[in-house]
Amino acid sequence: MDIMLILSIETSCDETAAAVTRDGRIVLADEIFSQVDKHALYGGVVPEIASRSHVEVITDLADSALRSAGAERGELDAVAVTCAPGLIGALLAGVSFAKGAAFSLGVPLIPVHHIRGHIASNYIAFPELAPPFLCLIVSGGNSLIADVRGYTDMSVIGATRDDAAGECFDKVARALGLGYPGGKLIDELARGGDDTAFKLPRASVEGRPYDMSFSGLKSAVINVLRGAERRGEELDLRSLAASFSAAVSDALVPRVMDAARKLGRDKIAVAGGVAANSRIRGDFERAARADGRRLYMPPPALCGDNAAMIGCQGYYEYLAGVRADMSLNAYATMPIDKKEWL
Ligand code: KG4
């Protein structure tokens, strides 16, 4: 096949997304409908609202993606869809739509793992990037370090034991009264703050050097806030945000660099919503330069959930022979390295 046109669908959390990609890495259309406003009222994602909202907009969004791409339905070669991991009802909205689309068009249905999709956002941003490389994926629901040996061959070498990094950002933001989602707001607040003003913990997991833990850090920030409140003290919130961001970055950057050294990977990629964080990006740039390793960080727009990354990974899954039939289900959890995962 000379040209491979894929319609891709992503509905794993609170973003409804549809994209059209050509030959994996060329993005012809990438449409995102964010539900953030609907969930902000509740301070976090309400799964039932997310599922309903996906169902309401997905058909129009897919049509709009096709229009933006200048493509006809009949030109599509496959439909790719995120089927795991994520909110089960939200995933099912996308999977059901994708099944209907693939069936009615008579094209293959390609199931895509959401985290594999995040990794693939780097292929879109960096046309020259090819495995093997080490990838840190830090989002609202996941934090893990993956050794990417091939486009569909990868394993997790470290993961968070409790909260995801993004979840920690969001919970700390809520404690600071910043609103939801809080990662970006903490990032902005931290600018100009003194990152050494507050002593915050950097956790490690005994015997598992690449695993991470963020719940202690979140509790430490909350304790600082409560202590100040009890004493009637005004806190320098800019410096608290800066100290917190530094602690998260310290939990990520040196770990990834150590793993790259140990595994002999000269390329390091970062993905997921938290990869948009300016402190973490700056620390990675410095560390990679000092260590002589190539660093790949997608632009912030490609870090968060999107469907282009699902279309890109879907292409590589397709080349590897991965297909789903009409019995495809959605899964709230699924390891990225499961060999036969459907
Ligand atoms: O990848 P993503 O859009 O969704 C998931 O798959 O989870 O990531 C969303 C997460 C949220 O927790 C959000 O607060 C965080 O990414 N985030 C940030 C920044 N921008 C988004 N965290 C820190 N700094 C940022 N600039």
Nearest ligand 1 atom to the CA of 141 is 7
Nearest ligand 1 atom to the CA of 15 is 3
> Mutation test of ligand 1: which of 274, 302, 310 has the most ligand atoms closer than 8 Å to its C-beta?
274
Taking CA atoms only, the protein residue closest to ligand 1 atom 3 is 304
Find where tokens 């950002």 sit.
Answer: 169
Q: Which of 57, 47, 99 is nearest to 329 (CA)?
A: 99
> Mutation test of ligand 1: which of 169, 174, 297, 305 has the most ligand atoms closer than 8 Å to its C-beta?
169
CA distance 329 to 309: 20
Q: How many other C-beta atoms lie within 10 A of the C-beta of residue 270?
A: 29
Q: How many other C-beta atoms lie within 10 A of the C-beta of residue 47?
A: 16
Q: What is the pLDDT of residue 339?
A: 67
Ligand 1 centroid to residue 299 C-alpha, Å: 13
Find where tokens 């695993």 sit.
Answer: 211
Question: How long, in residues, is the chain?
Answer: 342
Ligand 1 centroid to residue 3 C-alpha, Å: 33
Rounded (10°) CA dihedral 146, 148, 152, 155 = -40
Nearest ligand 1 atom to the CA of 248 is 23
Largest CA distance in the chain: 69
Taking CA atoms only, the protein residue closest to ligand 1 atom 14 is 183
Q: What is the pLDDT of residue 1?
A: 61
pTM for the model: 0.95
CA distance 338 to 195: 40
> Mutation test of ligand 1: which of 35, 36, 184, 248 has the most ligand atoms closer than 8 Å to its C-beta?
184
CA distance 13 to 91: 7
Q: What is the pLDDT of residue 340?
A: 67
Q: What is the pLDDT of residue 180?
A: 85
Q: Which residues lie closer than 8 Å to 65 by C-beta, 6 or more apart?
A: 7, 18, 19, 20, 29, 30, 31, 307
Please give the radius of gyration of the chain, using alpha carbons only, rounded to the nearest integer.
Answer: 20
CA distance 10 to 305: 8
Q: What is the pLDDT of residue 341?
A: 61
Q: Give span(s): CATH 3.30.420.40, the chain.
A: 5-119+303-319, 132-297
> Mutation test of ligand 1: which of 113, 115, 139 has the most ligand atoms closer than 8 Å to its C-beta?
139
Token pair, residue 137, equals 């994926």
CA distances from 179 to 22, 36, 222 (A): 38, 11, 15
Angle at 258 between CA 256 and CA 260, to 5 degrees: 70
Taking CA atoms only, the protein residue closest to ligand 1 atom 23 is 183
> Is 5-119+303-319 CATH 3.30.420.40?
yes
CB 39 within 8 A of CB 46: yes
CA distance 265 to 163: 27
CA distance 193 to 191: 5
Q: Which residues pair with 101 in a beta bridge?
A: none
Q: What is the pLDDT of residue 338?
A: 76
Q: Note the CATH number of domain 132-297.
A: 3.30.420.40
Ligand 1 centroid to residue 183 C-alpha, Å: 6
Mean pLDDT, 10 residues at a time, the chain of 342 residues: 91 97 98 94 92 98 98 98 97 98 98 97 98 97 96 97 96 93 96 97 95 97 97 97 98 98 98 97 98 97 96 97 97 86 62
Residues lining ligand 1, CB < 6 A? Answer: 13, 139-141, 166, 169-170, 181-184, 187, 272-274, 276-277, 304-305
CB 318 within 8 A of CB 70: no
CB 143 within 8 A of CB 212: yes
Q: What is the pLDDT of residue 342?
A: 63
